[in-house]
A and B are shown apart, each in its own frame.
Chain A
Amino acid sequence: MQMHDTIFEMNNVSFRFPDDQSPTLSSISFTIERGERVAISGPSGSGKSTLLYLLNRLYPANCDGIVDGEIHLFDKPADCYSPGEINHRVATVFQDPDSQFCMPTVEEELAFTLENLNTPASEMEERIRHVLDITGLSHLRHVSIQTLSGGMKQRVATACALVMNPEVLLLDEPISHLDPYTGKEFILWLDQLQKTFNLTIIAVEHRLDYWETFFDREIKITSDGRISEDTIFKPHETLRYPLRLHSILDETVISATGLSVKMKGNTLLQPVSFHAQKGECIVIAGPNGSGKSTLVKAICGIYKKEAEKFSTDPCGYVPQSPEFLFLTSTVFDELAFGGTSSKLELDDLIESLRLTEIKEQNPFAVSHGQKRRVAIGAMLADKRNVLFLDEPTSGQDESALLELFRLIDSQLDQGDTVFIVTHDMEFAAAVADSVVLLKDGRMTGKFIADRVWQDEELLAAHNLMPPKGVKLRAESFA
Chain B
Amino acid sequence: MLKSWKLKEIVLMSLFGVVFGIVYLLFIHLGNIWAGLIGPIAYEWMFGIWFIVSIICMHIIRKPGAALIPETMAAIIEVMLGNAVGPRLILSGIVQGLGAEAAFAVTRYRHFNIFVFMLAGIGAAVFSFIYGYFVSGYAALDPSFVALMFTLRVLSGAIIAGIGGKYIGDALLATGSLRGYAIARTQPRDANA
Known: A17-B180, A63-B180. Is A364-B174 also a contact (CB below 8 A)? Answer: yes
- Closest Cβ of chain A: how far from B185's Cβ, in Å? 7
Instruction: Say whether B177 contacts A19, CB under 8 Å.
Output: no
Name B175's contact: one of A17, A18, A19, A364 (CB within 8 Å). A364
Residue-wise interface mask of A (353-395) relative to B, using a CB-CB cutoff of 8 A (1 in contact, 0 not): 0000000001011000000000000000000000000000000
Show 19 residue pairs from A and B whose CB-CB distance is below 8 angstroms, ordered by the A residue.
Answer: A17-B179, A17-B180, A18-B185, A19-B179, A19-B180, A19-B184, A19-B185, A61-B6, A62-B6, A62-B8, A64-B180, A329-B174, A362-B174, A362-B175, A362-B176, A364-B175, A364-B176, A364-B177, A365-B176
Bound-state Cα–Cα, A157 to B177, Å: 26
Number of A-B contacts (CB under 8 A): 24
- Given A17-B180, A19-B185, A63-B180: A365 and B8 within 8 A (CB)? no
Residues 256-313 (chain A) with a chain B CB within 8 angstroms: none
Q: Which residues of B contact A19 (CB under 8 A)?
A: 179-180, 184-185
Chain A contact residues: helix, strand, loop or mixed: loop
Interface code B1-30, partner A: CB below 8 Å = 1, 0 otherwise? 000001010000000000000000000000
Complex interface: chain B residues within 8 A of A62 (CB): 6, 8
Nearest neighbor of A61 in chain B, beta-carbon distance: B6
Q: Which of B6, B171, B174 has the most CB of A within 10 A?
A: B174
Q: Which residues of the other chain, A, contact B175 by a CB distance below 8 angstroms?
A: 362, 364-365
Interface residues of B in 62-111 (CB under 8 A from A): none
A364 surroundings in chain B (CB, below 8 A): 174-177
Q: How far does the alpha carbon of A365 sit from the alpha carbon of B8 in the complex, in Å? A: 21
Q: Which residues of A contact B180 (CB under 8 A)?
A: 17, 19, 63-64
Given contacts A19-B179, A19-B180, A62-B6, contact A365 B185 (CB under 8 A): no
Bound complex: CA of A329 vs CA of B172, how far in Å? 10
Residues of B near A17 (CB, < 8 A) are 179-180
Complex Cα distance, B8 from A18, in Å, reads 17
B contact residues around A61 at 8 Å (CB): 6
Report the Cα distance A364→B180, complex, angstroms: 17
Closest to B174 in A: A362
Interface centre among B175, B176, B184 (most CB of A within 10 A): B175
Q: How far is the CA of A364 from the CA of B177 in the complex (A)?
A: 8
Contacts of A63 in B (CB 8 A): 180
Q: A365, B184: Cβ atoms under 8 Å? A: no
Chain A residue contacts of B184, Cβ below 8 A: 19
CB distance from B189 to the nearest CB of A (A): 13
Bound: A329/B171 CA distance, A: 8
Interface hits, A48-77 → B, CB 8 Å: 61-64
Given the complex, which residues of A lie within 8 Å of B176, measured CB to CB?
Answer: 362, 364-365
User: 14 more A-B contacts (CB under 8 A) besides A19-B184, A64-B180?
Assistant: A17-B180, A18-B185, A61-B6, A63-B180, A329-B171, A362-B174, A362-B175, A362-B176, A364-B174, A364-B175, A364-B176, A364-B177, A365-B174, A365-B176
Q: Using CB atoms, name the residue of chain B closest to A364.
A: B175
A378 to chain B: closest CB distance in Å?
Answer: 17
How far is B119's CA from A192's CA once the two chains are assembled, in angstroms? 60
